Amino acid sequence: MLSQQILANLKRLPHCLLLTRVGQFYESYFDQAVEIARLLNIKLTSRKWNGDRIAMCGFPLIHLDKHLKTLVQLEKRFVAMCEEFPRSTPNTNVKEFDRRISRIITPGTLIDESFLDPRNNNYVLAVTPPDISEDLKMTGLVGLAWMDVSTGQFFSKQCDVENLQDELARIDPREVVLHSSLIRITNHPILAMLTDNLWDSLSPDQIGAKQGSADTESSLESIQEKFFSKSCLSLRSRETLSIQLLTDFLQANLLEHMPILDNPIHESTQQLMQIDSHTIHALEIRENDYEHGTKGSLLSVVKRTSTSGGARLLARWICSPSTSVPEINARQSLVDIFCRRAHFRADLCELLKEVEDIERLCQKFLLGRAEFADLVSIQSTIDRWDNIHRRIKQEKKMEGIENPDTFSEDNWRNLDALFRRMSNVDDLASKISNAIIIPVVSSSEINDLDMDDDLPRTEDSVIDNTDLMCDQSNDKKWTINPYYSEKSASLHANLKRLSEQKAALQQELCSKYFAPSLTLRSSPGNGFFIHLSRAKRDKSRIDDDPEFYGIGETLSTKSYFHRPWSDLGNSIVETSSALASAEKEIFQNLRLEVIENIRLLRQNSQVIDELDVALSFSILATEMNFVRPEITDDGSYKVINGRHPTVEIGLLSMGRQFVPNSVQMTEDSNMHIITGPNMAGKSTLLRQTALITILAQVGSFVPADYAHIGVVDKLFSRIGARDDLFRDRSTFMVEMLETADILRRATYKSLVIMDEVGRGTTVKDGLAIAFGALHHLITTNKSRCLFATHFHELAEMVGNVDNIQGSGAFQNVRFYCSDVDDAGDGHFAYAYRLKPGINHDSHGLKVAGLAGMPPAAMDIAADTLAWLKGKEANEGRFNYDEFIRVSCKFT
């Protein structure tokens, strides 16, 4: 039977690694055993199968999460879980099981595995591209639908083909689902894009849905009737196809764990700042550019959240800042409230630390994987929500009493509006509190009581203790309040009476037969029996009594069948089984109560997440002396003494101070050309300008003395140097691709930062490219732009007037520069603060000296530079023979 099931599953799921539950182990067979043993570094063995020896490997149940992390998260494999389910077998002590595939685990469909990062979303993304022409070109819109199965968060949108790469970088999915027919077109542009970006978790849809159906509405109706809580037909065509593709993929892999889905949240491109994929990496928004870890990223520096949900929300916001001025101002108002009230802020943070991850708990209930401990977490979190709300009301009331002259309702308007979105779910908390013995049983104990260790963690097996032996029943800590229902109270009373009878029977037998080692026991093999641990001393009277029938004996022990104990034991087991069934029924009723309140629980959780992020921003602002920026809808950008948030914290950790800089752009001066030495802070200024903009539009305060920022619709950067050997692209080619993308897509409301455009080729070519890009940005894009360069000639090419600004068509250009301060004796210091003007000396030799270039090489370089400057001053052309003669004098 087992062999037939395994062979059938391997044939049905060739794209999956199959793990089959056998008792307390998961096992793998045939060629897959060889592969799994290698991946997991476990022993490969063999077993007899139909007369032949086949490869097999396995591991204990308790190691499942550890090995799933390797197979699914690290190796990006699909794992099919074949579980055991108890079969009803009356009148036998032998356990029998049915086996079936309960779930296919993929990188994007993790639910509650221990290795799932609680502070990051785990998205699976479905992509539906537009139709392609015969020459494999695409135009039109791409449909996107993505979901975090562990939280139930579900989003969808449409985007232009050219924006798909940016959306991938922003969403950061763990798995991308494409239609199987598309994956078969190996040179499909979408597939090429994903492969070129080293996407290592592409999943072909295995269920064969028909893409591009003419009747999109009817195709969506078929899935929303089964899986959606309400209609979502208003979404657009490509978007609905992606929703259908994703839903089919989830159904094919979650199987019996497939939940009812909330309607996807439609994202509008106009509501969010668009940050291109290169900028997300170049600005190190989520992870640093060297180790690809979170340390040193913008997210790691600003994160002060107390809850997992708040951390996930902050990560989403920071890659998708808002473009709505009212929304930004509302967020900032919350931050302002907490910045001004230190004790209030501290109290709320302490309360938030006790809040559980309701989004993931709710999803566990929908997926049928909830346990008693999860009910306790739901109940305790609802109580914490009430405590938070009471603390807010208390603070507001006390402020009105203590400062009646300065108190204003307007100051609290946004916080009141936030909490008006919360719904009262105290009835649910009361039902759980009344049902479960929370003070008596700890969470770890509750988890131990949920189900038999021999059964898989599924909804069907919660508290399934039908074979519970009576000696375990007597000592069991029940999870449900005995007086929760009349049935429960009656069963508990009966069980107590039977337990007392057991104790009395044992005492009676010990006394009657002078057998102090006599105990009443039970086991699956022998049923209920009398046990003597010191048989030689205690068995004489019992052996003479026909009521006792010997069933086993060792050198020191002996066991007997005894009808009165057998009858009493069976009564205890039957009562315990009935009580376990009653507890299971109560649990299922409470689970349904939670599911009925899922929408309200998630809505409340969202409010708490937003509160957590606002508190996080206020802590950051207080610690780092951030200020509230003014946000408007114009094209201005004015930041006085701005600071780079990440660099500043790094310097402070070394006991050094960051040198601030100011940037002031208006619609009449929206292009700043920045010159100056290497290592003098040009790139830092560019990055900090972009990061301050992101923080401002997320709703945070910003590192500056003053900030007034007009909303930015798109943020672009051409910064940093790297090649792309995988796609056979040189550093120069990569930079040109990034520059071309900016020039095509930037608008008058965009912010562009460009660093050293045109490097990597000849000076003349580089200068021409830099001017071409600069000219396009000024005359066509008309974006706010910081343009750092070592091509000082650009100043003259845009009509330099007094080293301050351009002229004619370039009168909106302003010049700024950094410099070095010469300290004498060959020593110098960088002057990081910008000033108006143009610096015609990049001081490259000074940087080379700092880097440790040998003195002899430095001497040659200095003499060569002096000779080149002399030739330039005399307007002479470079003559190789002359240079050789002169260079001989250098040595």
pLDDT of 386 reads 96
pLDDT of 94 reads 60
- At residue 558, the 3 state secondary structure works out as strand
Whether residue 517 contacts residue 614, with contact meaning beta carbons closer than 8 Å, is answered with: no
- Cα–Cα nearest to 451, from 434, 467, 474: 467
CATH architecture entry for 315-425+597-624: Orthogonal Bundle (1.10)
The owner of tokens 């994160």 is 303
Q: For residue range 252-306, what is the model confidence (pLDDT) as tens digits?
A: 999 888 888 888 999 988 899 999 999 999 999 998 876 777 888 999 999 999 9
| CB atoms inside a 10 Å sphere around CB 540 | 12
Angle, helices 358-366 vs 598-624, to 10°: value is 160
| CB atoms inside a 10 Å sphere around CB 397 | 11
In sequence order, the β-bridge partners of residue 814 are 672, 805
Residue 227 confidence (pLDDT) above 80: no
Whether residue 338 contacts residue 344, with contact meaning beta carbons closer than 8 Å, is answered with: yes
Domain-by-domain residue ranges, the chain? 2-105, 123-267, 315-425+597-624, 445-595, 630-839, 854-891
| Mean pLDDT in residue range 385-398 | 94
2-105 and 315-425+597-624 share one CATH topology? Answer: no
- Cα–Cα nearest to 309, from 656, 609, 700, 73: 609
- Cα–Cα nearest to 648, from 659, 635, 633: 659
Whether residue 322 contacts residue 697, with contact meaning beta carbons closer than 8 Å, is answered with: yes
Token pair for 280: 């997300």
CATH of domain 123-267: 3.30.420.110
Angle, helices 358-366 vs 563-596, to 10°: value is 120
pLDDT of 879 reads 58
pLDDT of 309 reads 96
CATH of domain 445-595: 1.10.1420.10
What is d(CA 425, CA 601) in angstroms, rounded to the nearest whole number?
A: 8
Q: What is the DSSP letter of 788?
A: E
Whether residue 786 contacts residue 686, with contact meaning beta carbons closer than 8 Å, is answered with: yes
Residue 873 confidence (pLDDT) above 60: no
Q: For residue range 743-791, what is the model confidence (pLDDT) as tens digits?
A: 999 999 999 999 989 888 888 899 999 999 999 999 999 999 999 998 8
- Domain 630-839: top CATH class: alpha beta
- Is domain 2-105 in CATH 2.60.40.730, yes or no? no
Q: How confident is the model at residue 456 (pLDDT cuts 50, 70, 90)?
A: very low
pLDDT of 295 reads 85
Q: How confident is the model at residue 460 (pLDDT cuts 50, 70, 90)?
A: very low
pLDDT of 468 reads 39
Token pair for 157: 């949108």
Q: For residue range 509-553, what is the model confidence (pLDDT) as tens digits?
A: 999 999 999 999 988 888 899 999 998 888 888 888 889 999 988
What is d(CA 337, CA 160) in angstroms, rounded to the nearest whole number?
A: 40
- Cα–Cα nearest to 755, from 775, 729, 777, 785: 785
| Mean pLDDT in residue range 639-657 | 92
DSSP, residue by residue, 724-779: BGGGTB-HHHHHHHHHHHHHHH--TT-EEEEESTTTTS-HHHHHHHHHHHHHHIII
Element (H, E) at 177: strand 175-178
Dihedral angle computed from the Cα positions of residues 821, 824, 827 and 833, in that order, rounded to the nearest 10 degrees: -10
Overall residue count recorded for the chain in this entry: 891
| % residues pLDDT > 70 (the chain) | 85
- Cα–Cα nearest to 712, from 273, 326, 316, 163: 273
pLDDT of 803 reads 86
Whether residue 358 contacts residue 602, with contact meaning beta carbons closer than 8 Å, is answered with: yes
- How far does CA 147 lie from the centroid of its chain? 11
Q: For residue range 786-796, what is the model confidence (pLDDT) as tens digits?
A: 999 988 889 88
